[in-house]
Homo-oligomer: A and B are copies of this chain.
């Protein structure tokens, strides 16, 4: 399947690289979508660099079957831009698979796509979601329909396992 990975500066290194690698190893095509095509983004721990393949202006949600939102400071940087928020919102509205870890669910909060969805997130974001009225739970991975969420780097193996399971059963919707 074709998967968009939305990425901004200061992403959490392993929360990008491990799911990205696992999705590609499973045969999926992953496109890194950022604020500027060709921009080289650095992880907050300085271990991983990634180049944005496309900007939000270059792509449409309909070009993709699923969405990956890594954590770190990246989601808060992205959600300051309406083009990123609307891109994410379209996947939720279409009920396509969305995989968000750590601070990733901040994009769901800003996109107004949290009510009626059971989810988890990094603890500071979990509190924000809860105060906004989301149905939150503090566990390593939460699968709610096509939405998979996790809290932190230690949860990555469960996050990848459940994300791949969702892709196996989700029909391509493009």
Contact = CB atoms under 8 A, between A and B. Distances in A.
A108 to B, nearest CB: 11
This protein's copies in its complex: 2
Interface residues of A, number: 17
Interface string A48-90: 0000000000000000000000000100100110000000000
Interface string A85-114: 000000000000000000000100110100
Nearest to A123: B80
Contacts of A145: none
Contact of A133 (B122, B127, B131): B131
Contact of A110 (B112, B127, B132): B127
Contacts of A25: none
